[in-house]
Structure 1
């Protein structure tokens, strides 16, 4: 049966027995959360900044979108100093079942709370919001239909007027054969977080591209067991695509956000104290074990801010 990529991806990831309802992401791809505890430490520093900006309220929210195995939420809670931990209300949002080893202080829910006072952190969440794929043909843009069992594609109908308007503004297709992922559902998903942010900051972290440098062939890809695979939407692999974070930022502003910052993970983490600097060589003589620990930590931090790797991720931050 031929369906749109958006519908095929929704079924493959979140339908009955879907990939994300039965699999933990860490089995299939490595995120910044698992690369180093320095990532959770940086999120804690960011949370501290939000806390100070809000006047240190009696209850401060941390909402972890697409929590996966809950490592980020648990790590931030465990790292928080007692004064902050006592006020911290941590919510992990994920459609999968609650892992058995998640701290009981972490609420595990399928949808973002209606009102958030604090920090919403969406690490590699938007890239798994299903989107349609479109290709420019001699008669104009056409939705691509896919056979979920094989990944084979064929042209379908033209996108509707809202999607055509989004393409013209955010991902214009100039040449026959150019492809795009229509990011409007991600704009709407991000705006839905901003609406629920009563006071505080929302951050999205994802592989991204700007409007003046979109990939001509699109970015749709699958992941299974740590390797990129053809994106066959049969439920056997993750299906993902890079995010037009600039379009999400505009949607967030329409939803009431202000103080928008769009930067890279490298720059965001460096501002939050992740530098990747090697320890002084003199430490190797004075404290060999300490030197090895510090060297390992520096290596982890360097991976997080590597401009050719995780450091290329986009960071979108908006406040209300």
Structure 2
């Protein structure tokens, strides 16, 4: 037992997530998300169509600029921007400047009109979408003890944990404001790095709208033991940060919203994906049954479409995502 214990390497969860996801040979540098979990983009082309409608609204609000940006942060395989670009009307497509932001290499079949980069471009004029990006930004985990919050340390190879020292003062202040831990044994994911990442997006947005869509929770209903988990091959697995699986945790979008406002956002909407997509025209309503008699093929297509929309707005699934939308003039 002593020999095994001596081999353990104790680091913070933030370090472990960074190494497992983005370090040499990390999960997101060698894998595409679509191979491991279902996203809104992969669930239905209706999601890209809704993004295109939102882009059109932003375009109109900006007075149809000569160059209109669409930026997809955490693009994965570039599916969202590719679908939007191909569905865009000719007049918009001629002005559209499409950027996919991801640390992984671009797919071989990427549309040549898509710019692939590691950073959000500065001075963006248009729409920035961060779909399931913030949940993969590494964070530390803290546990309340009788002596105050302590960082949770983890061994990357086994997933075993132990308590370390207290968080840094900025994280302690973040905990006090955004995720209070009133009882020993409760845990929190320290979302300050996500706040900073989102503030960076808002800072680089020149004019237009930035949207973050992710699993989220509000300050008055944080999960008592956090949400840290792993995903691999479509299944939820133990969160072992050895690079073999996705490591994710839900997002304190309300804290990100406050960070975005400090970075210059002039308006904030915090809602659910269900409501946001319904506002963009997705209803999930089944086609009338008499269409099956007059146009059987059309009925089947409309039925399939309604099922796809229903999945995107299902409050117990993808529709339960939080949607944070912030605007700069």
* TM-score bin, normalised by smaller chain: over 0.9
Query: Map of 1:15-94 to 2, 5 A cutoff?
Result: 15-94=23-102
The alignment status of 1:214 with 2:222, answered yes or no, reads: yes
TM-fit CA distance, 1:115: 1.6
Find the counterpart in structure 2 of residue 153 from structure 1: 161
The alignment status of 1:106 with 2:114, answered yes or no, reads: yes
TM-fit CA distance, 1:268: 0.1
Find the counterpart in structure 1 of residue 276 from structure 2: 268
Find the counterpart in structure 2 of residue 298 from structure 1: 306
In structure 2, the residue corresponding to 1:61 is in which secondary structure? strand
Find the counterpart in structure 1 of residue 191 from structure 2: 183
Find the counterpart in structure 2 of residue 196 from structure 1: 204
In structure 2, the residue corresponding to 1:86 is in which secondary structure? helix
User: Which of residues 122, 133, 143 is equivalent to 2:130?
Assistant: 122
User: Which of residues 196, 199, 205 is equivalent to 2:213?
Assistant: 205
Q: Give RMSD over aligned pairs.
A: 0.4
Find the counterpart in structure 2 of residue 132 from structure 1: 140
Find the counterpart in structure 1 of residue 265 from structure 2: 257
Distance 1:261 1:184 in 2: 20
> Which deviates the most, 247-256 or 107-116?
107-116
Find the counterpart in structure 1 of residue 4 from structure 2: none
User: Which of residues 7, 10, 27 is equivalent to 1:2?
Assistant: 10
Distance 1:258 1:153 in 2: 42
In structure 2, list runs of 5 or more residues that go unmatched.
Answer: 1-8
Find the counterpart in structure 2 of residue 240 from structure 1: 248
TM-fit CA distance, 1:138: 1.4
Distance 2:123 2:62 in 1: 15
1:140-193 deviations in Å (ceiling 9; x for gaps): 100000000000000001001100000000000011100000000000000000
The alignment status of 1:162 with 2:174, answered yes or no, reads: no
TM-fit CA distance, 1:114: 1.7
TM-fit CA distance, 1:102: 1.1
In structure 1, list runs of 5 or more residues that go unmatched.
Answer: none
- TM superposition score normalised by structure 2: 0.97
- TM superposition score normalised by structure 1: 1.00
In structure 2, the residue corresponding to 1:108 is in which secondary structure? strand
TM-fit CA distance, 1:212: 0.1
Find the counterpart in structure 2 of residue 144 from structure 1: 152
TM-fit CA distance, 1:34: 0.4
In structure 1, the residue corresponding to 2:143 is in which secondary structure? strand
Find the counterpart in structure 2 of residue 231 from structure 1: 239
Runs of 4+ in 1 over 2 A off after TM superposition: none
Distance 1:291 1:176 in 2: 57
Distance 1:111 1:57 in 2: 23
